[in-house]
Structure 1
Amino acid sequence: MGVSGSGKTTIGEALAPQLGVAFADADGFHPRANIDKMSAGVPLDDEDRAPWLAAMADWLAEHAGGGAVLVCSALKRRYRDRLRRASPRLFFLHLDGSYELISERLEQRKGHFMPPSLLRSQFEALEPLEEDERGAAIPIEGPPERTVAEARAALARSGSGSPSR
């Protein structure tokens, strides 16, 4: 989980094969109307997100037995709760970085529908993990390999680090 540009796809694509589990990117679950809205620089609201969350929840439920990596912003607690209802053992890795770092990354990113102008709204919407949520905040300041290693260590500490868990 994390704001746009935090490295979710990069880290998830590296992590899933190391864990031997399925991978999906939340961007692929958005209806066309959501993509068009974000491309126009308009933030999504909860009504826009409802079918997107439902589709991801269905995917998580299908993969709950064998493990999976789903990269998704999951910025608000209620969104994470919706996903957790589909997969109660869900463990969140919050890719955590400063606005300045992520803004710089977004300015360099090409070919993505999410414009850098929406980053501020994502930071404003972000509700960090709470103590009763299974998850860990992972710093993203270093190279992706370090972030993946820290993510794996957090999963191992939680008991979620293998496909059988």
Structure 2
Amino acid sequence: MEKGIPLNDQDRIPWLCKLHDILLRDVASGQHVVLACSALKKVYRDILIRGKDGGPLKCEQMRKDKQPAEVKLLVVYLSGSFEVISGRLLKRKGHFMPPELLQSQFDTLEPPSDPENFIQINVDKNLSEIIATIMGTLR
């Protein structure tokens, strides 16, 4: 991404599998976990929930117990117009994703929908409103 080349499924799937394993480990140890990432497609979110069995591509390592292990996941879908998000990206300094890749993110995006466990929050709200909505949902 730093080179201005968008990631594809082949790039993302192993990373998402690793994130699933981290989520599974941390939840199993009793932790409450917040993961911030752009799981743009439903299949990506399925991998976060179910690991390698969530998507069409296999992770390199199979689970030792060979049982699918699910993570309960609440997706917080921060939605906003291209113009608003582009304006915010242009203000970032030193971020790995150049603003030129934003269109590829919008092109890839599959917004969450039923039966996924999600809430949608418009990024036009201020930060305290966004946090209050998330916390209210978690209660």
Structures share fold, TM-score greater than 0.5: yes
Residue 142 (structure 1) shift: 2.3
Moved segments of 4+, more than 2 Å: none
Q: Could you give the per-residue CA deviations for residues 20-62 of structure 1, whole angstroms, max 9, x where no partner exists?
A: xxxxxxxxxxxxxxxxxx0111001111112211211111111
Q: SS in structure 1 opposite 2:34? A: strand
Q: Could you give the per-residue CA deviations for residues 55-102 of structure 1, whole angstroms, max 9, x where no partner exists?
A: 111111112242200001000000000001154311111011111100
Q: Could you give the per-residue CA deviations for residues 86-121 of structure 1, whole angstroms, max 9, x where no partner exists?
A: 543111110111111000000000111100000011
1:109 aligned partner: 92
Whole-angstrom CA distance in 2 between matches of 1:153 and 1:96: 18
More helix per residue: 1
Whole-angstrom CA distance in 2 between matches of 1:96 and 1:150: 14
Gaps of 5+ in 2: 52-69
Of 121, 129, 141, which residue of structure 1 is paired with 2:124? 141
1:72 aligned partner: 37
TM-score by length of 2: 0.81
**Overall identity of the aligned pairs, in %:** 45
For this pair of structures, how many residues does the alignment match? 119
2:135 aligned partner: 152
RMSD, aligned CA: 1.2
Q: Relative contact order, CA 8 A, sep 6+: which one is greater?
A: 1
Asked if structure 1 preserves the Cα contact closer than 8 Å seen for 2:73 and 2:117, the reply is yes
2:2 aligned partner: 39
Gaps of 5+ in 1: 1-37, 157-165
Of 76, 81, 88, which residue of structure 2 is paired with 1:98? 81
Whole-angstrom CA distance in 1 between matches of 2:33 and 2:74: 10
1:89 aligned partner: 72
- Higher Cα Rg, which structure: 2
Whole-angstrom CA distance in 2 between matches of 1:75 and 1:62: 23
Opposite residue 122 of structure 1, the aligned amino acid is Q
TM-score by length of 1: 0.69
